Amino acid sequence: MEEKLTLFKNRKRFGIEKNIDLIFKNTTLALSSLVAIVLFGIILVVFFQSFESFSRYGLNFLVTSEWNPVKDEYGAFTAIYGTLVTSLLSLLITIPLGVGTAIFITEDFVPKFVREIVGSFVELLAAIPSVVLGLWAIFVMEPFFREFFVFLHKFFGWIPLFSSEPAGRNSLLAIIILVVMLLPIVTSIARDSLNQVPKKLRNASYGIGASRWKTIFSVILPAALSGIMAGVLLALGRAMGETMAVTMIIGNSNVFSWSLLSPGYTISSMLANQFGEADGSQVSSLFYAAFVLMILSLVVNIFAQWLVKKFSLKY
């Protein structure tokens, strides 16, 4: 017995075991560093590939809308404008819709299982691939909205946004399909932040006689605002980078137009359309456009993360 105890006491790790431990640790360290390497790799590669175009056009690239591979003249204004307009307008529609749905899911208007079904329906919508939504948009949504667009142009044609004859594929359709894609993101993040609002805030508000919606507007929503804002920004980043459904329905025209009823372009749909067949300085210009898109979405994403960090521990 005595002998066994001393044996135990003197037991040391073998060198080989220590080494394996160290190797394992350093391997995982290297693998986690790979994330940073890939991220910087993407930024650097896209930047260097766009250098030729960048040095030739400079910032003029951002404000001219000529895109002519024959004359070798490139400017991405139409695509940048299209990216910003489609993503911002779709977000504008999605925010009330998504937050309203999130309130429906977190309040108790209806029994819990109904709310759970609604919640999982919205989440499953996020699982549908964007290319399938694009197919659906072409063959189901576009015919459905055709009459409505004609009506829109007839009666609201004096507004520049509806000033052109409705085209078969146009920016407004892209905005509608973007709403479908952003809805799950905004809803699920808004729901999570509404759920995190402590119950005592609600009870206090009810206790001093506020009605349900007074409580929602004055207490619950302000308390959940930072989370909802972060969700909205994440959705904005997604909207700007969204490619397939938008490419399939936006009409892909580089002719600039204020009207949402005429075909448009976004940076990502330009990349999807032209990258496969491009050569010469067109490739470099496309990389430049990709770089612009990447910077836009990086800024939005980093701001969203900053917002989450800054406000998440308020309650």
Please, are residues 102 and 190 in contact by the beta-carbon 8 Å criterion?
Answer: yes
Nearer to other proteins, 45 or 204 (CB): 45
How far apart are CB 260 and other proteins at their closest, in Å?
A: 20
How far apart are CB 184 and other proteins at their closest, in Å?
A: 8
How far apart are CB 56 and other proteins at their closest, in Å?
A: 18
Nearer to other proteins, 186 or 223 (CB): 186
How far apart are CB 96 and other proteins at their closest, in Å?
A: 7
Please, are residues 133 and 180 in contact by the beta-carbon 8 Å criterion?
Answer: yes
Give a three-class secondary structure readout of the chain: CHHHHHHHHHCCCCHHHHHHHHHHHHHHHHHHHHHHHHHHHHHHHHHHHCHHHHHHHHHHHHCCCCEECCCCEECCHHHHHHHHHHHHHHHHHHHHHHHHHHHHHHCCCCCHHHHHHHHHHHHHHCCCCHHHHHHHHHHHHHHHHHHHHHHHHHHHCCCHHHCCCCCCCCHHHHHHHHHHHHHHHHHHHHHHHHHHCCHHHHHHHHHCCCCHHHHHHHHHHHHHHHHHHHHHHHHHHHHHHCCHHHHHHCCCCCCCCCCCCCCCCCHHHHHHHHHHHCCCHHHHHHHHHHHHHHHHHHHHHHHHHHHHHHHCCCC
Nearer to other proteins, 115 or 153 (CB): 115
Nearer to other proteins, 147 or 160 (CB): 147
Nearer to other proteins, 260 or 290 (CB): 290
How far apart are CB 106 and other proteins at their closest, in Å?
A: 10
How far apart are CB 110 and other proteins at their closest, in Å?
A: 8
Nearer to other proteins, 13 or 71 (CB): 13
For residue 223, what are the contacts with CB-CB under 8 A and spacing of at least 6?
197, 201, 314, 315
Neighbouring-strand partners of residue 67: 74
Nearer to other proteins, 253 or 301 (CB): 301
Can you tell me the distance from the alpha carbon of 312 to that of 315, in angstroms, rounded to the nearest whole number?
8
How far apart are CB 78 and other proteins at their closest, in Å?
A: 18
How far apart are CB 158 and other proteins at their closest, in Å?
A: 28
Nearer to other proteins, 80 or 99 (CB): 99
